[in-house]
Amino acid sequence: MAEQNLFEGLAGESRVFKNREKITPHYTPEKLPFREKQINEMVLALKSALTGQKADNIFLYGKTGTGKTACTRHVLAQLDEFIQKNGLAAKAIYLNCRNYNSKYKVLSTVVQDMYPDKDFIGYSGSFIYEKLTEFCSEKKLSAIIALDEIDKVKDLDDLVYALTRANDEIKKGAVSVIGISNMLTFKERLDPRTKSSLCEKELVFPPYNAQELMKILEARAKEAFKEGVVMDSAINLAAAIAAQESGDARTAVMLLLRAGEIAEKEGSAKISDKEVEKARKSVEEQIVFEMISTLPEQQQLVLLSIAKLTIEKKGVRKLKGEEEGILFSGEIFDEYKRIAASYKESPVSTRWFQQYINELEMYGLLSTTASGKGLRGNTRLIKLSMDPKEIRTTLEKQLNQ
Ligand SMILES: Nc1ncnc2c1ncn2[C@@H]1O[C@H](COP(=O)(O)OP(=O)(O)OP(=O)(O)O)[C@@H](O)[C@H]1O
Ligand SMILES: [Mg+2]
């Protein structure tokens, strides 16, 4: 009997997916239930751009997976369509600052978008800035620059100042900013002047509850999967897990995607709570590692020093009644300063360092306890909650980019 070809059965149509793309996290759905208010507010803030005036600067914030990126992309796509259709002098540009993390990178990318036929590599910051004001002035154009994950911009105060100042130099036309962040303490860290320019209008994206996530998943599942494949129990469980963790729609969407892949691999044409349960671990891990790779660089350096000390068993000691893998915050700070220097970053003060530790704890990446009396005054004991080797690999890959 001839052996079965390795590709047998793979070229055929999926029994599970109708359109797999639509249940992937980067797909922007047409409808975004439970975000009507935020979308309307964005539209109102942007409407001045339609008449060549400056739109309000908007600051969007909320925890991960609450629809900030999806709503922004949706509104900007609608705006773009309207601008094209009516031949208006307005332009929307979306950037993720994870990839463009400095004033220079942001402005040169914006200007490149304005002059697609020219090449701006290697030009000075001031030349790029002039090109931006020149473009808006000549075309009497209102530009809207959406900066997603804006907390990643290293010289954000300078960037926001430059964009604000551009409005004084552009005679007709304007520049406005949509800033997006999921870092809860980020706004407090800004220079007061940056804060007041950036936050002319603020939009909060609260976490979704289980009921809302169920509705969101039902709609997305209908687009992505064949009829009758996804059982209600699967949707209920995925929504419940995501609501319990953080009200994050990305987790919910990924659980269903992964559950679909598991069903497909196992040759089943049904997705039940069993497949969702199986998907849970891999999704949770993936989400944590994605989160780690998008932390601000300084926090990554702090986390990397903890991972390294844990792996090298340096400074780790077994205290009475304590588990293994415990570090002193002072030792971490020393290691952090060394690592920061090796990446040519200047280390933050101890106060910020403590704040970073607090945030890393809030994200569930580590746990801390006060050392109690007798042990070096008020030092803290810190323990990593994740596999240190995986953390090190993820971070080194990110930091060496
Ligand atoms: N109201 C909604 N309806 C349908 N899908 C949604 C909704 N809100 C979010 N999603 C989906 O959830 C996923 C995460 O949303 P999004 O990327 O917008 O989150 P975010 O707030 O930008 O998170 P982060 O802060 O991590 O960048 C995406 O796949 C998105 O399409
Ligand atoms: Mg986002």
Q: For 184-201, how does the pLDDT look when each residue is reduced to its tens digit (9 = 90+)?
A: 778 888 899 999 999 999
Residue listed under structure tokens 């607090």: 358
Q: Which domains does the chain have, with CATH numbers?
A: 36-205 (3.40.50.300), 209-293 (1.10.8.60), 297-399 (1.10.10.10)
pLDDT of residue 40: 97
Two tokens, residue 137:
């002035």
Two tokens, residue 247:
């009200």
Nearest to 92 by CA among 134, 59, 43, 157: 43
- Listing DSSP states for 29-65 in one string gives -S--TT-HHHHHHHHHHHGGGGGTSPPPPEEEEESTT
Question: From the CA of 82, how far away is ligand 2's center (Å)?
Answer: 24
User: Sign of the CA dihedral 305, 310, 312, 315?
Assistant: positive
- Ligand 1 atom closest to the Cα of residue 25 is 29
Question: If pLDDT is split at 50, 70 and 90, which confidence band does 77 have?
Answer: very high
> Residue 122 above 90 pLDDT?
no
Please tell me if the CB atom of residue 35 comes closer than 6 angstroms to any atom of ligand 1.
yes
Nearest CA residue ID for atom 26, ligand 1: 64
More confident residue, 317 or 229: 229
> Residue 8 above 80 pLDDT?
no
Question: If pLDDT is split at 50, 70 and 90, which confidence band does 114 have?
Answer: very high
Which ligand sits closest to the CA of 222? 1
**Torsion (CA) 267, 271, 272, 276 in degrees, nearest 10:** 100
Nearest to 133 by CA among 103, 164, 88: 164
pLDDT tens for each residue of 14-66: 889 999 999 998 899 989 999 999 999 999 999 999 998 899 999 999 999 99
Full-model pTM: 0.81
- Ligand 1 atom closest to the Cα of residue 29 is 31
Average pLDDT, the chain: 90
Please tell me if the CB atom of residue 95 comes closer than 6 angstroms to any atom of ligand 1.
no
Question: If pLDDT is split at 50, 70 and 90, which confidence band does 245 have?
Answer: confident
pLDDT of residue 84: 95
Please tell me if the CB atom of residue 66 comes closer than 6 angstroms to any atom of ligand 1.
yes
> Residue 179 above 70 pLDDT?
yes
pLDDT tens for each residue of 130-139: 999 999 999 9
**Torsion (CA) 101, 102, 107, 108 in degrees, nearest 10:** -80
**Rounded CA gap, 61 and 149, in Å?**
10
> Residue 169 above 70 pLDDT?
yes
Q: How buried is 268 (Cβ within 10 angstroms: 0-12 exposed, 13-18 middle, 19+ buried)?
A: middle
pLDDT of residue 163: 95
pLDDT tens for each residue of 361-375: 988 899 888 765 555
pLDDT of residue 344: 93
Question: From the CA of 304, how far away is ligand 1's center (Å)?
Answer: 28
Candidates 24, 250, 288: which one to mutate for ligand 1, based on the most atoms within 8 Å of Cβ? Answer: 250
Mean pLDDT across the stretch 308-322?
A: 72
Looking at residue 175, the DSSP 8-state letter turns out to be E
**Rounded CA gap, 266 and 260, in Å?**
10
Nearest to 231 by CA among 282, 280, 277: 277
**Torsion (CA) 276, 277, 278, 279 in degrees, nearest 10:** 50
Please tell me if the CB atom of residue 247 comes closer than 6 angstroms to any atom of ligand 1.
no
